[in-house]
């Protein structure tokens, strides 16, 4: 079997791959070559990758095989292919962040912290992934690189802004991808593409070596097709990093060992009110399926959730505009027009509103923490609907037509606004597209959200469905 990938399907998870590589059943070079072949075959259809680093990946895989042959340790993710949203630095590539403008930047001198940590655990970077320009996006569309396409129906959006990350994992190109989430950009594509996504606590994972969007709200995190892989990727990346001033100096708290601790004794809350209004039948069906599987749940209200979303919106548009102000002055025609016009408007919002939004953020955090005194985990929809058609501009929420682009994140924004950890779990609906549910925990309790996700997965309630035209 050595040197062949016959034992591993494209749907093999990271843990399965790492076990096979470490056990000598398959060479890391064979796994990597197979991933590169899948990307070459499927990427013209999915448009998930903007860069493939084949030579680097094969060299890295060969080094793992050599280490194994010499009896040296290779790490818990030995030979596992992964890819990163193209706002995360990859040595030798300009970090384009979905933009045309940043392509003129010099190539990154070194990898971002999370890339380095995954590779230190034995994983093999195979490329960088498509995204909405400068991460100001929920669609996965990109005027410069083309839309990433949903593996379950390539006429549909992946969701964004980490659209390539959702497509690459859902389409079987890689078992693990990294994305960023400022207002929902991991959880929205996880929902539309039917995969698991983890947005950790704000400050939990280092953002060093990534292009920012909204410093107050930016998070990085992993996508995977099962909870074990999500936890393994997280465990490989977690820990302090002085290079990111927001990254916590709490010691790493790995989650893998307690993943199967079960949910006995956990109090499960079901978000009502704001988190039901506007939800489609599919979103509510997924939420109810998950809630029913977890046994008794108690209804909870997150106070002022609409205002929390409004505050996140104001902080996002103003901080984003401040970040890009000079580029908006000098090269406005080189932006995606949808992004440019929102950023220009953001620059014009008076500062008094922004200061109030940051004050409200603390008020809301305190109010939500009081809710977490009564429950351990809260369930809420991830998106109001399944994946819309690529190019769609409006959708109906609560009986009224709204612009699509700014409103896909209505359920994710009030959660990331205060940095709560969330696992987006995919619910396959009979005969339809998948849709996600947010499993939300109190700050620093990623372990609880992952345990609940794992319990749901064990029951068969949540899983990443294999798309119809799989490689």
Partner 1 sequence: MSETAELDAMVDAAAAVLGLRVAPEWRAAIRAHLAISLGHAHAVADFALPDEAEPAPVFRA
Report the catalytic residues.
85, 161, 185
Stretch that binds partner 1, among 148-156, 186-194, 287-295, 339-347 (CB under 8 A): 339-347
Distance of alpha carbon 86 from alpha carbon 19, whole angstroms = 29
Which residues, including other chains, have CB under 8 Å from residue 414's CB and lie 6 or more apart? 274, 302, 305, 306, 308, 309, 312, 364
Shortest Å, Cβ 82 to partner 1: 31
Residue 245 or 273: the one with the smaller Cβ distance to partner 1 is 245
- Hey, which residues between 417 and 456 contact partner 1 (CB under 8 A)? 418
Q: At 127, list the tokens.
A: 């490329």
Contacts with partner 1, 271-290, as mask; x by CB under 8 A: --------------------
361 binds partner 1 (CB under 8 A): yes
Among 161, 206, 210, 311, binds partner 1 (CB under 8 A): 311
331 binds partner 1 (CB under 8 A): no
Residue 24 or 240: the one with the smaller Cβ distance to partner 1 is 240
Among 256, 346, 414, 428, binds partner 1 (CB under 8 A): 346
- Three state DSSP letters for 406-459: CCCCCCCHHHHCCCCCEEEEEECCCCCCCEEEEEEECCCCHHHHHHHHHHHHHC
Among 109, 352, 399, 468, binds partner 1 (CB under 8 A): 352
Stretch that binds partner 1, among 258-266, 285-293, 326-334, 379-387 (CB under 8 A): 326-334
CA dihedral sign of residues 303, 306, 307, 313: positive
367 binds partner 1 (CB under 8 A): no
Shortest Å, Cβ 201 to partner 1: 14
Residue 353 or 389: the one with the smaller Cβ distance to partner 1 is 353
> What's the full length of the chain, in residues?
471
Among 54, 284, 328, 470, binds partner 1 (CB under 8 A): 328
| Residue in the structure block whose two tokens are 């995919």 | 426
310 binds partner 1 (CB under 8 A): yes
- Hey, which residues between 231 and 270 contact partner 1 (CB under 8 A)? 245
Which candidate, 129, 132, 130, places its Cα nearest to that of 184? Answer: 132
Shortest Å, Cβ 378 to partner 1: 20
Q: At 103, list the tokens.
A: 């392509």
Among 50, 148, 210, 317, binds partner 1 (CB under 8 A): 317
Q: Cα 291 vs. chain centroid, distance in angstroms?
A: 23
Contacts with partner 1, 368-407, as mask; x by CB under 8 A: -----------------------------------x--x-
- Hey, which residues between 178 and 217 contact partner 1 (CB under 8 A)? 216
| Residue in the structure block whose two tokens are 């955090």 | 365
- Angstrom CA distances, 245 to 114, 203, 330, 357, 413, stand at 15, 9, 29, 22, 23
304 binds partner 1 (CB under 8 A): yes
182 burial class (0-12, 13-18, 19+ CB within 10 angstroms)?
buried
Residue 63 or 310: the one with the smaller Cβ distance to partner 1 is 310
363 binds partner 1 (CB under 8 A): yes
User: Is the Cβ–Cβ distance between 229 and 15 less than 8 Å?
Assistant: yes
344 binds partner 1 (CB under 8 A): yes
Q: Cα 6 vs. chain centroid, distance in angstroms?
A: 30
Residue 59 or 243: the one with the smaller Cβ distance to partner 1 is 243
348 binds partner 1 (CB under 8 A): yes
Residue 71 or 350: the one with the smaller Cβ distance to partner 1 is 350
Q: Give the angle 326-359-200 at the CA atoms, nearest 5°.
A: 75
Among 4, 9, 298, 358, binds partner 1 (CB under 8 A): 358
The residues that bridge with 224 in the sheet, in sequence order, are 176, 196
Q: At 134, list the tokens.
A: 């400068």
Which residues, including other chains, have CB under 8 Å from residue 242's CB and lie 6 or more apart? none
- Angstrom CA distances, 116 to 119, 120, 234, 238, 342, stand at 5, 6, 13, 12, 34
Residue 282 or 336: the one with the smaller Cβ distance to partner 1 is 336
Stretch that binds partner 1, among 205-213, 325-333, 435-443, 459-467 (CB under 8 A): 325-333
User: Is the Cβ–Cβ distance between 420 and 380 less than 8 Å?
Assistant: no
CA dihedral sign of residues 92, 96, 102, 103: positive
**Rg of the Cα trace of the chain?**
21
359 binds partner 1 (CB under 8 A): yes
Q: Determine the 3-state secondary structure of 401 from DSSP.
A: strand
Number of residues in contact with partner 1, rule: CB under 8 A? 42
349 binds partner 1 (CB under 8 A): yes
| Residue in the structure block whose two tokens are 């987006």 | 424
- Which residues lie near partner 1 (CB under 8 A)? 216, 245, 304, 306-307, 309-311, 313-314, 317, 325, 328-329, 332, 337-338, 340-342, 344-350, 352-353, 355-363, 365, 403, 406, 418
């Amino acid at each position: 079997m050595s040197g062949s990938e016959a034992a591993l399907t494209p749907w093999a998870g990271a843990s399965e791959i790492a076990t096979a590589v470490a056990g000598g059943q398959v060479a890391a070079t064979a796994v990597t070559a197979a991933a590169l072949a899948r990307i070459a075959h499927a990427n013209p259809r999915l448009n998930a990758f903007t860069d493939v680093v084949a030579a680097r990946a094969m060299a890295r895989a060969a080094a793992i095989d050599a280490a194994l042959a010499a009896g040296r340790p290779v790490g818990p993710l030995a030979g596992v292919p992964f890819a990163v949203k193209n706002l995360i630095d990859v040595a030798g590539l300009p970090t384009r962040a979905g933009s045309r403008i940043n392509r003129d930047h010099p190539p990154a001198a070194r990898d971002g912290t999370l890339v380095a940590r995954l590779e230190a655990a034995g994983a093999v970077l195979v490329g960088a992934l498509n995204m909405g320009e400068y991460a100001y996006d929920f669609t996965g569309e990109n005027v410069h690189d083309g839309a990433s396409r949903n593996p379950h129906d390539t006429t549909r959006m992946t969701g964004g802004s980490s659209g390539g990350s959702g497509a690459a994992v859902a389409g079987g190109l890689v078992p693990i991808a990294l994305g960023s989430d400022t207002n929902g950009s991991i959880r929205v594509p996880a929902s539309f593409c039917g995969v698991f996504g983890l947005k950790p606590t704000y400050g939990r994972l280092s953002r060093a070596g990534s292009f920012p969007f909204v410093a107050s709200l930016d998070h990085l995190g992993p996508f995977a097709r099962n909870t074990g892989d999500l936890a393994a990727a997280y465990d490989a990346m977690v820990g302090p990093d002085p290079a990111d001033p927001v990254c916590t100096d709490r010691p790493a708290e790995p989650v893998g060992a307690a993943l199967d601790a079960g949910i006995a004794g956990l109090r499960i809350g079901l978000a009502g009110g704001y988190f039901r209004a506007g939800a489609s039948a599919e979103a509510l069906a997924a939420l109810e399926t998950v809630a029913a599987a977890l046994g008794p749940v108690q209804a909870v209200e997150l106070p002022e959730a609409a205002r929390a979303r409004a505050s996140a919106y104001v902080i996002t548009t103003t901080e984003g505009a401040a970040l890009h102000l000079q580029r908006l002055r000098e090269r406005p025609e080189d932006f995606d027009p949808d992004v440019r016009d929102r950023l220009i408007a953001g620059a014009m919002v008076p500062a008094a509103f922004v200061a109030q939004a940051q004050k409200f953020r603390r008020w809301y955090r305190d109010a939500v923490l009081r809710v977490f005194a009564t429950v351990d985990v809260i369930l809420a929809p991830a998106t109001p609907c399944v994946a819309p058609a690529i190019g769609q501009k409006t959708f109906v929420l609560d009986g009224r037509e709204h612009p699509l682009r700014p409103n896909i994140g209505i359920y994710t924004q009030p959660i990331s606004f205060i940095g709560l950890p969330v696992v987006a779990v995919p619910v396959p609906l009979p005969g339809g597209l998948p849709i996600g549910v947010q499993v939300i925990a109190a700050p620093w309790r990623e372990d609880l959200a992952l345990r609940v996700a794992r319990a749901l997965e064990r029951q068969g309630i949540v899983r990443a469905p294999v798309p119809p035209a799989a490689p």
